[in-house]
Amino acid sequence: MKTLIALLLTSLPALALAQYSNPDKSFYEHAAQGGRVEVAAGKLAQKNGASQAVKDFGAMMVEDHSASNKKLKKLADSKSVKLPEPSLTQEAKLKMLEMKSGSSFDKDYIESQVKAHKRDT
């Protein structure tokens, strides 16, 4: 029994470290959050955008990121990685964007897309 307890106590730090040091897991989680935000923002663009170009871009983002999200989910599931929902910060930014409409929405949406895609490249 003492050996089992000693084994468990020495294994727990390694297991915990492995959970946080898995670069694939970290990538999957970050990509999942970003992908879900892109879909939500794209839906808002279709609803709140003023210009047809913004509405069309939003539709493209929903289509592209929905497909990517499905592929990522399948891959993460195969690696037993649970994908998170968007962060509170991301949710707050979506809520702020949701309150806008028309040209104000278009400006903020496009600026946020440029920033997000520059940050992710």
List the domain boundaries for the chain. Answer: 22-119
- pTM for the whole thing? 0.78
Share of the chain above pLDDT 70, in %: 81
Higher per-residue pLDDT: 57 or 7? 57
- List residues bridging with 49 in a β-sheet: 102
Position 4 scores a pLDDT of 44
What percent of the chain clears pLDDT 90, i.e. is strictly above it?
Answer: 74
Looking at the predicted structure, is the pLDDT value of residue 21 above 80? Answer: no
Whether 87 has a pLDDT exceeding 80, the answer reads yes
Residue 5 CA to residue 69 CA, distance in Å, equals 41
Predicted local distance difference test score (pLDDT) of residue 118 = 85
Q: What does the alpha-carbon distance between residue 95 and residue 89 come to, in Å, rounded to a whole number?
A: 10
Check pLDDT > 50 for residue 36: yes
- Strand (E) positions, 18-115? none
- Decide if pLDDT at 38 tops 50: yes
Query: What are 2's two structure tokens?
Result: 């003492």
Strand, coil or helix: 49? strand
- Of 33, 30, 38, which Cα lies nearest the Cα of 97? 38
